[in-house]
Structure 1
């Protein structure tokens, strides 16, 4: 195609110009905004948090993407089944449903409780949550905590957050006493909750939950988690330890404290056992843990001025992006975040963006929906204005034409750097709630052409490319191995656009022929009417997408 050839000429021109840019930097002594010591991973200075004990990054990890809750839950059930005397099991969650099945016949509560009864040390931190009558998961989180404590575990309900804030981290760590059993950490966006146990067919989890009617009785759910073996497991454990050892009261609200005391809920966490040495290297992936913590009073001891390394990392890698950014996200609805993508698109005329988001919101509140739609439409307008036809914003449906709720939080840049975690692309996740994301940079190069799609010498990496292709095959209705026309990033963009256009045309005239393969549709939303936008803007900034940065950073629009 002519467009593709012009795009490739643009890539070649950028390769030449990048050489002159680097020469200019060397001659003038100017430095880029980010430390060039590592092109993709944050330095300690860039992280901006000297209070933490976690390392800058670790090498030698084995990382496996677990796409879909059914795959993740099966791996988690196996890891917990192997936990026994003197093993350490740690978990955090935003929402936990005790009765959710990990595999047939094994519930979340049953799997963790069984590990505790076998002698494993089970510790958990659940978000305490806001008012339950507004749909928050406080009652279910409390029920899970009580079940596990009755089995010998210990679970705290953690409300050490700002007003309207939450603990949004979702991870599990299992450290085994047996040196022949490899320790494991699971990091990503999947809660231990109802509706998450879906698979690639996307017919939904039979154990559903209340959801907008557009998604049907058993809403289809697309999500992602990582399974990590190697030294990074210890860093994930240290994220848990830092929060657990925070001396601040679990909640300072008297209407929380009294009910907790009456219900026998743990108010003062016990001491954790001393940490074991980090696991030995066992793979080819460098893993950097990225987090968000707001600026809180009293301050977090491990982040006295907060931490915004997730935002910093995305800004750094987007500054380096040249060819394609692939995103899956639940809440791409903040203009502050959209500006980072828009800046990259304006700077690099050959850069393309594919973003997969939910077709409809996950709630039907008349208060929050207009504000969320306003933020979402403003963010998309910012990105589309910058990238034009180089931007594809898409949503997902299953083969029956029913929308699939996209809950995954994935970002892949130039088939080199990839991240999966709990943070969404909104201001709340980048500044206000606690979040944990794992950025992965595989040292193993991918030998399929193009071997260096960005033209900067970084090369395509096996983990990032394989992850993109796995997601692409599913969304395009392909079988495993059917991806030869998807490896090249330019061709991938064209194939996706062609597939989307074909499916959209069929939906306009379904009687004209057989439904085309694929599940991706162009994303359209209805903007709130003008009379709603003033009030919606206020609700959006204060409640839906609050800002947890210090005032000086807000004024400077920095992280």
Structure 2
């Protein structure tokens, strides 16, 4: 039976943001999952290397390291873009200005990337048009050609152009590593996903970039930063070329772009009351779930955000959920670590109360026994609807930071994505159809092997049961304010916050 897009995708009215120029959804697209940063970076480099005079390269990034190599022996991100600019391509970047490096953020790296692009004749904006403590978390790249529109492509997902992301299926880590807790080793193994889009949806991703680029608000309101940007020529905002027509149909996939923009008193002209289509899409799609929800997520926090998942479990007695998360948070320390764990602990308790043994939660390790940091943001519902993006399942991603996700409505794509991920986690190129039981059996075997002191050959697979987190009552009381204010804040307008809706 054909899938009806209006039953799974948000309608224009359900998106709740009439100010945007985005179409509700587009058809005729070809979407391919790019599993791992090494896969994505290699394809991205090939696309940028093919740019010619008057072609267009647009990108948005949360963190960018100018020296991050896109291939093992290849040049860094900044050099690849500079070479494209030297050939006459128009290079434009929206880079989050970021918090301080001493807080394990990337202010210096992001500025250096912007400066390198400026030196090569491109233009980069350090965009801090966010709520206090928020970020521009979107990670996407658009490549459009003046004379070869059939080669136009957009990359959307969770992979930044920065250190630690260029890992592959072996999960030995990126040789250029970003700071992480010691438990992940010197080269933290990194699991991530991006998608490559061809077809009419490329023009929709371009609209997302244009709306932000053309925002008349200054990129920063701090006088020192504005002066520094002026002297480094990073406050110029040249007009973008008029967008070309949408690319011709390229495949069978229906695509909807989902976003988060917070409510701000200095409103976004393209989202005056914010946009919460990521959250709204989950609310609609999970209402259709009957068989299996497969989720990979970096955080999985917040009882408010987890409620649509819990409601789906309560209302569909046959529904099962597989959830893959990191074993350890990306922040350590006496306060930061527990503050990162408190929301997940509450969310998992809520899910298990709703679904019991129909909910299974795992983390990953490589074949050397080193934990793999799960940075992917993937959801597959009933092998019908699949989403890959920058948004995590937490209140920050659903309401406070800017986010962009690509949702695809197609049985073959959704099933193929789920099976590709399962094949890697199980070390089985042809995973069984009952992946819920296959994951459980594989994780139990590996856990038993660890409990035996790792005696005998290591069983295949990379899955381990995710341990529950317990915090003492006094420590929970101590870190809860930090969790609510800094880790997982709420960016909804007052009316939505009062009603508990998005």
Cα distance in structure 1, aligned partners of 2:291 and 2:134? 36
2:409 is aligned, of 427, 435, 441, to 441
Partner of 1:334: 302
Shift of 1:182: 1.4
Q: Quick check: 2:5–2:409 contact (8 Å CA) kept in 1?
A: no
Cα distance in structure 2, aligned partners of 1:288 and 1:321? 18
1:362 is aligned, of 330, 337, 342, to 330
TM-score (norm 2): 0.97
Partner of 1:445: none
Q: 1:125-136 maps to which residues of 2 (within 5 A)?
A: 125-136=94-105
Secondary structure of 1:59 counterpart? strand
Shift of 1:368: 2.3
2:78 is aligned, of 109, 114, 118, to 109
Shift of 1:366: 3.2
Structure 1 residues 377 and 180, CA gap change in structure 2 (3 angstroms): closer
Cα distance in structure 2, aligned partners of 1:259 and 1:336? 41
Shift of 1:372: 1.5
Please list the CA deviations of residues 265-321 of structure 1 after superposition, one character each: whole Å capped at 9, or x if unmatched. Answer: 422411111110000001000010000000112110000000000100011110100
Please list the CA deviations of residues 78-134 of structure 1 after superposition, one character each: whole Å capped at 9, or x if unmatched. Answer: 000011100011000000000100012221011111101100000000000123321
Once the two structures are overlaid, the 10-residue window that deviates more, 308-317 or 179-188, is 179-188
Q: Quick check: 1:156–1:265 contact (8 Å CA) kept in 2?
A: no
Q: 1:66-465 maps to which residues of 2 (within 5 A)?
A: 66-103=34-71, 104-179=73-148, 181-262=150-231, 264-442=232-410, 461-465=411-415
Q: Quick check: 2:104–2:179 contact (8 Å CA) kept in 1?
A: no
Structure 1 residues 416 and 357, CA gap change in structure 2 (3 angstroms): same
Cα distance in structure 1, aligned partners of 2:236 and 2:48? 26
Partner of 1:30: none
Alignment partner of 1:475 is 2:425: yes
Partner of 1:495: 438
Q: Quick check: 1:89–1:174 contact (8 Å CA) kept in 2?
A: yes
Cα distance in structure 1, aligned partners of 2:454 and 2:54? 63
Structure 1 residues 542 and 40, CA gap change in structure 2 (3 angstroms): same
Shift of 1:525: 4.1
Alignment partner of 1:49 is 2:14: no
Once the two structures are overlaid, the 10-residue window that deviates more, 53-62 or 516-525, is 516-525
Secondary structure of 1:547 counterpart? coil
Secondary structure of 1:102 counterpart? coil
Cα distance in structure 2, aligned partners of 1:147 and 1:340? 44
The answer for unaligned runs of 5 or more in structure 1 is 1-35, 443-460
Q: Quick check: 2:30–2:251 contact (8 Å CA) kept in 1?
A: yes
Shift of 1:552: 1.4
Q: Quick check: 1:226–1:420 contact (8 Å CA) kept in 2?
A: yes
Structure 1 residues 369 and 265, CA gap change in structure 2 (3 angstroms): farther
Cα distance in structure 2, aligned partners of 1:322 and 1:235? 31
Partner of 2:474: 531
Q: Quick check: 1:373–1:525 contact (8 Å CA) kept in 2?
A: no
Structure 1 residues 145 and 37, CA gap change in structure 2 (3 angstroms): closer
Structure 1 residues 278 and 305, CA gap change in structure 2 (3 angstroms): same
Cα distance in structure 2, aligned partners of 1:511 and 1:339? 39
Please list the CA deviations of residues 231-263 of structure 1 after superposition, one character each: whole Å capped at 9, or x if unmatched. Answer: 00000000000000000111112342233334x
Cα distance in structure 2, aligned partners of 1:135 and 1:385? 35
- Max Rg structure: 1
Cα distance in structure 2, aligned partners of 1:468 and 1:530? 38
Secondary structure of 1:97 counterpart? coil
Q: How many residues get paired?
A: 498
Secondary structure of 2:24 counterpart? coil
Shift of 1:373: 1.1
Shift of 1:179: 2.8
The answer for unaligned runs of 5 or more in structure 2 is none
Shift of 1:492: 1.5
Secondary structure of 1:64 counterpart? strand
TM-score (norm 1): 0.87
Q: Quick check: 1:70–1:196 contact (8 Å CA) kept in 2?
A: yes
Please list the CA deviations of residues 206-251 of structure 1 after superposition, one character each: whole Å capped at 9, or x if unmatched. Answer: 1112111111110100000000000000000000000000001111
Cα distance in structure 2, aligned partners of 1:272 and 1:303? 20
Shift of 1:557: 1.0
Secondary structure of 2:8 counterpart? coil
Cα distance in structure 2, aligned partners of 1:353 and 1:181? 39
Please list the CA deviations of residues 349-402 of structure 1 after superposition, one character each: whole Å capped at 9, or x if unmatched. Answer: 110000000010112243322221111111111111111100011000011111
Aligned-residue RMSD, C-alpha: 1.3
Cα distance in structure 1, aligned partners of 2:162 and 2:5? 41
